[in-house]
Structure 1
Amino acid sequence: MEVLKRRPAATRPVATPSYSVAQSAPHQILVCKACKHQGSSCEPGFALLKKLRAAIAAADLSGDFEVSGTACLAGCVPGHGGPCVVGWRATAKATWLFGDIDPAQPIDDLVEFSRLYAALEDGWMSGKDCPPRLCGNTLARIPAAIIVTREGAVQ
């Protein structure tokens, strides 16, 4: 019988800022604010975060959405030109991730997507149902996690 040798575990640096983001509203919008390519904070991400918080409040969606900055969402491409990645998540709903979001452009499509997402029971929709400018910027649509144990399904 051949004995498999285990490679030494690679050490992983501690995440700074934290990758864990507490959620205080039923839905959460995450804006990438840390650039993995530059190893520093992302000024366009901070600009989009501020602009999106104001737009969600102006649209009277603050009770439904928390807009948070987070560490790198790993959806950008260096030198691609579109600096921001934005995600939507909620318990028992699909998670959506959009890239190439320019904070200098109007963000009405992001607010419209928020309205659509909040209205859907499971957060699932066809990409063609997304606001037009977001259709081509979809990086991922991830089904809600359902964990099954011996006792049954756990959400």
Structure 2
Amino acid sequence: MHRTTPNHRISVCTSCKHKGATCEPGYDLIKRLREAIDAAGDAIPEAFEISGVACMAGCDRPCTIAYHGTRKATYLFGDIDADEDIEALVAFARQYSVLHDGWCSSVDRPGKLRRTTLARVPAAITIVEHSPEPVQ
């Protein structure tokens, strides 16, 4: 494989269930997304780690999926369907991998990701200020 250590991650909720059914679509989405990103090869210039998480609190909008990157905004998407949205998810991985800060307009996101964004969280930057006074 052309990529090295991932500095991007895709997290997929594995506890969300389709309403009225007992399946856990997150596991299927992880498998399909890994296969699709591997098949994209060099079209995605950065490596992505893809893993499941127990809950992302998007239960009313399953499947829920997040894109994270070092020093980048994090995106949380809901209403993802493994059968319908793989191409858009791979296209967003390609796009996200080259955004230096992760920010993009909703109109620039592929497919239904334009309208199923649940959150865009700015990158966390921690600033530590030295203070001569002890914290109590």
Please classify the TM superposition score into its range, dividing by the shorter chain length.
0.7 to 0.9
Structure number with greater CO (CA < 8 Å, separation at least 6) is: 2
Change over 3 Å in CA distance of 1:72–1:105 after alignment to 2: same
Question: What is residue 34 of structure 1 aligned with on the other side?
Answer: 15
Structure 2: runs of 5 or more not aligned = 131-136
| 1:128 counterpart = 2:126 | no
Q: Name whichever structure is richer in helix by fraction.
A: 2
Distance (whole Å) between structure 1 residues aligned to residue 110 and residue 68 of structure 2: 17
The runs of at least 4 aligned residues of structure 1 exceeding 2 Å deviation read: 35-38
RMSD over aligned CA atoms reads 2.3
Change over 3 Å in CA distance of 1:27–1:102 after alignment to 2: same
Question: What is residue 47 of structure 2 aligned with on the other side?
Answer: 64
What one-letter code is carried by the residue in structure 1 that aligns with 2:77?
F
The total of aligned residue pairs comes to 122
Q: Name whichever structure is richer in strand by fraction.
A: 1
Change over 3 Å in CA distance of 1:97–1:126 after alignment to 2: same
Change over 3 Å in CA distance of 1:33–1:143 after alignment to 2: same
Distance (whole Å) between structure 1 residues aligned to residue 54 and residue 35 of structure 2: 21
Question: What is residue 133 of structure 2 aligned with on the other side?
Answer: none
What one-letter code is carried by the residue in structure 2 that aligns with 1:129?
D
Question: What is residue 145 of structure 1 aligned with on the other side?
Answer: 124
Answer whether contact 2:71 2:123 (CA < 8 A) is retained.
Answer: yes
TM-score (structure 2 length as normaliser): 0.81
Answer whether contact 1:34 1:42 (CA < 8 A) is retained.
Answer: no
Aligned-residue identity in percent:
51
Change over 3 Å in CA distance of 1:63–1:113 after alignment to 2: closer
Answer whether contact 1:73 1:85 (CA < 8 A) is retained.
Answer: yes
User: How far has the Cα of 1:63 moved from its partner?
Assistant: 5.4
User: How far has the Cα of 1:132 moved from its partner?
Assistant: 2.8
Question: Which structure has the larger Rg over C-alpha atoms?
Answer: 1
- Which one of the candidate residues 81, 84, 105 is aligned to 1:102? 81
